[in-house]
Structures are given as structure tokens and as C-alpha cells.
Amino acid sequence: MDTMGIGEVGKGNKLIFDGAPWLVLEVNFVKPGKGNAFYKLRVINLLSGNTLEKTLRGGEKVELADVEDREMQYMYHDGTSFAFMDQTTFEQVSVSAKSIGDDKDFLLENMMLNVTLWNQEPIAIRLPNTVQVEVEYTEPAVKGDTQSRVLKPAKIKGTGGNVQVPIFVAIGDKITVNTQTREYSGRVSK
Amino acid sequence: MTTPGNRNALGNRSESEQRDWRPTAPVGVLRQRAELVERTRAFFRERGVLEVDTPVLQGGANLDHGVVPMRVTIGSEVRFLPTSPEHPLKRLVASGCGDVWTLAPAFRAGERGQRHAPEFRMLEWYRLGWDDRRLASEVIALLATLTGWSDEHGIITWRDAFRTYAGIDPLTVDDATLIARLGADAVVANHDRRIALDLLLTRDIEPRLGRGRWTVLTDYPADQCAQARIRHAGDGTPVAARFEIYRDGIELANGYHELLDGRALRGRLEQELAARSSDEQLDERFLAAMANGLPDCAGVAVGFDRVVMLALSLPDVGATQAFTWGDA
């Protein structure tokens, strides 16, 4: 079990609290004049995505989580889980559909992305911030409607996911989407 | 000329060029900070307080509760960096220097955050024949001068601050109520009353002090007296003649009506030293000065970087420094 003094902990460290791995988002040091020091951490649970404020005393030790991000390629899914492969070691891991959630809408076969491993077990994926996808179906634009602020749903080819796109986007168009906000960010020129 | 040394220097050039060598605070901030130093100097010159310099490497350590000094080893000798210039300033006062002030580097191991830096500047001064209340007024006068804000202020005792903002009487509250008040943070305090009260102070009280005006927090409990004398409060309880000044939830100053009893002070410092797991050394020259006799006086230390932060509306103390701990 690796530990670290709380004074050394910074943003980005991964720690174990109550048996779960947490990522440190923010550290604040507070201390009354001649009193005891406290560290107020804002942490996010790497399994559930819940955030929490955690207070610790100066001088305490914290347990480091054995968490690493590894670049892998998305292979396929079998309904309950998604399979990824490390292109250097050819090691294959599977991540449950539950951990992946709505990110599945942007998971295209052969895509490279980061898989988070905790104690060598995959727990989450991190998509690239933007992905390029092809529109499988969207309602054709009504002639004369040039208001580009109006959005309509479009179905993503290969994943079946939906995103909102401007009215001028047509079937077969390649578009870029922000995976964090799920918003359309542009059309790839043909 | 191509000596191996030169080749080496050229080989490392790209790496050293990538190093972030520029100052943290922009020059505009440094100019305004310099202006605040000048105004401080003028304030004390006008009032006849003598500016002095104090050593950066002390023979003995400051031993304030919860404050960890840094040290340097020079051969077989150990020296301690000041956590405040309190000891040399009191030696000067004891020697008959009269009122003195300094803006000196201070160092506190492990203190890093929005309002803390391991290295910072402490503005500290001593007034002969004054008590803590009179000195608190002068601190507010200086802070008003530096920030351009009014000197309007409120005074609240440590006990009343807990009653008002935390809903408990810190002297009489039972453990169960205290634990309930801490909620999820109870586990942090781990049944230590002092820690529990410090936690409530930082969490529920300090953020509410100094809103819209200066707040003087005073009459600390006797067991948090540090180097202040003990007096009796209106309700008869012994309290430390110690104050802190807050603005916008930020503690800026800590002052005392100084303890004069050298023997009692030695006892307090020996007790603090015994409670530590580290091996700091008592500052014997300072204790000798105290044994010889400190004239009746009040002293205060002001975190100068925090004042600059506040006066210039900067987000943290690092933003007031040319070079912060992280890139010194």
C-alpha cells in the first residue's frame, strides 16, 4: 500500500477513500493563526463520478490508488460490455456497459482512447474531446429555412447515438462532435 | 572555443530555454506592491517607529503551536528560518531600542494554499506601553491606509464568535453536541476538542468575519495564548490578551499584549517543544533577553502578502509575489 503525506497531495493525484479510487480536483489549505492545519479536497469518485468535499488534518497520510490511464483501441461490444485492446501488448480488456454509459454513442470501431485501470482492472474510459462521426440519418432540410440556429436530431452511423445538429446537415455528412458537451462543433468539408 | 564544458552548455540550451523562468506577478502588480511598501514605510516614519532588519537564519526556532519552522544545516551547525521576526524584534525592544518595525521574510514548512505560502513577508512591529486594543486600532489605521477602505470595524470575542456563528459555547459545550455540530467532519477531529474547535473556526466562523468592515477577533482562550499575557474577561474567565484582524474572511494580523514573565514564557515554549515529535531547539538568546526583562509592550504580525492580495483584489498570495515557492 503506497501512502503520501497530505501536504504533498495535489490536483490530479488519485487516492483511496472508503475503499474507492478518487481523483483530486482541488486542494485547499486552511489554518487558523496558531492552530491546526486542515486540507480541504474536492475529489471525484472514479467509479461513480460523484464529487465530494473531504477534510483532512495536516500531517495525515493518504493511500494512493493504483490507477493508470492506458491508450487502447476500441474493438467491439457484446451487449453487456465493451472490448478494448492495447496496441503494444495486444492485451485485451472489457469495460462494463454501465461504466461507459452514454459515451457509447461516440464509440466507433478502431477508435483510440484512454482506458483507466485500477489495480489493473478497467473501470472507465476517456474519449477524445472531439470525435468525427458520419450522419446515418437526419430529416432533410426544409427549403427556404436558413435559420442555422435551429437544431434537429441526427443519428450517428455505427453507434446509433443521437446528436443535435444544425438544419443544413445532411445524411452522409461527416461532422465533429464535442464528447463532453455532446454538442455539434462543425462539419468536415467534403 | 570548444571545451567540453561549452559543448555541454550548448547541449543543455534547449532544456534551459524551456524552463519557466519568468516572474509570477506581472510588473504592474510589482509596482503596486512596491507602492504599498512605501506607504507602510511612510506610516511608520510619521509615527516615529524605527525600521530594522532581522536575521534570516536564527540560532533557535520559533515555537508557535501548529507552525513548523524550516532549518538549514551548515556543517555541524543547525539554523532555523524565522516563522516570524518576533524573537529578534523583542530582543531589540528588550535592549532599549524603543518602538521598532520590520518587513521581513518568514518561512513556514508545508503551508501552501490560496492564502498560504511557505515563504512570505511578515510585517511586524512593537509599541512600548501600549496594550492589544490600542495596537489593534493602529493595525486597522494602517490597513485602511494601504487598502483605501474606511477604518470601520467590529470587535468580537473568540467565545462570542462561536456562540454567534457556530451556535455553541466553546467553553461549556458537551462532546456530543460538538460532534453533532461537526457533522461529517467529526471523524477528522477524532475526539480532540482543540481540533474540533479549530475546524469549526475555519469552516463556520472565519468565512463570516470581516464582511464589509474589519473584524477584530479577541480574547482567545488561555490555552491559545502563544506569547500573549493572560487577563480576565468580563465574565471572569481567563483569556489571552491576543487579537486577530480579519477582512473578507481572511486573517491578516495576529497581535498580543506581550507576556513579560520570562520564566513563564520559557515554560510555555518548553511545553510546546515537548509536544513536538521534531527536534527544534529553543532560541536561548531570545529567552535570555526575556529573562533580562521586556518592557511593557504590544506587538503584532501582519501577513503582508495577504494585505497586497486584498488591496489589489488578487486571487491568491502567490499572485502578489515575483517568484512563488513553486517557481523560486
pLDDT, residue B4, reads 42
Grid cell digits, residue B40: 507602510
Enclosing H/E stretch for B132: helix B132-147
Segment A54-68 mean pLDDT: 92
Verify whether the Cβ–Cβ distance A57 to B195 is below 8 Å. Answer: yes
Q: Which domain holds residue A49?
A: 3-64
Cβ contacts of A58 on chain B, cutoff 8 Å = 66, 110
Q: Which domain holds residue B285?
A: 4-152+213-327
Verify whether the Cβ–Cβ distance B199 to A36 is below 8 Å. Answer: yes
Kindly state whether residue B12 falls inside one of the protein's structural domains.
yes
pLDDT, residue B191, reads 81
Domain count, chain A: 3
Q: Where are the alpha helices (DSSP H) in B226-328?
A: 262-274, 284-292, 304-311
Query: What amino acid occupies position B144?
Result: A
Taking a C-beta distance cutoff of 8 angstroms, is the pair B33, B320 a contact? yes
Question: CA-CA distance, B83 to B94, in Å (whole number)?
Answer: 20
Kindly state whether residue B32 falls inside one of the protein's structural domains.
yes
Of the candidates B66, B114, B251, the beta carbon closest to that of A36 is on: B66
Domain boundary among A30, A64, A98: A64
pLDDT band for position A79 (50/70/90)?
A: confident
Kindly state whether residue B202 falls inside one of the protein's structural domains.
no
Question: CA-CA distance, B115 to A44, in Å (whole number)?
Answer: 24
Kindly state whether residue B238 falls inside one of the protein's structural domains.
yes
Kindly state whether residue B165 falls inside one of the protein's structural domains.
no
- pLDDT for B66-121, tens place per residue? 899 999 999 999 999 999 999 999 999 999 999 999 999 999 998 988 999 999 99
Q: What DSSP state is assigned to residue B285?
A: H
CATH code of the domain in which A47 resides: 2.30.30.30
Q: Give the β-pairing of B50-51 and A3-5.
A: unpaired
- pLDDT for B199-219, tens place per residue? 999 999 999 999 999 999 999
CATH code of the domain in which B239 resides: 3.30.930.10
Verify whether the Cβ–Cβ distance A31 to B185 is below 8 Å. Answer: no
Question: CA-CA distance, B253 to A136, in Å (whole number)?
Answer: 66
Whose CA is closest to B58, among B37, B94, B34, B89? B89
CA distance, residue A161 to nearest chain B CA (Å): 41
CATH code of the domain in which A135 resides: 2.40.50.140
Kindly state whether residue B200 falls inside one of the protein's structural domains.
no
Q: Are residue A60 and residue A76 in the same domain, yes or no?
A: no
Q: State the ipTM, two decimals.
A: 0.80
Domain count, chain B: 1
Cβ contacts of B203 on chain A, cutoff 8 Å = 55
Q: How large a percentage of chain A has pLDDT more than 70? A: 96
Q: Are residue A10 and residue A52 in the same domain, yes or no?
A: yes
Kindly state whether residue B185 falls inside one of the protein's structural domains.
no
Kindly state whether residue B111 falls inside one of the protein's structural domains.
yes
- pLDDT for A162-181, tens place per residue? 999 998 899 999 999 999 89
Domain boundary among A126, A146, A176: A126
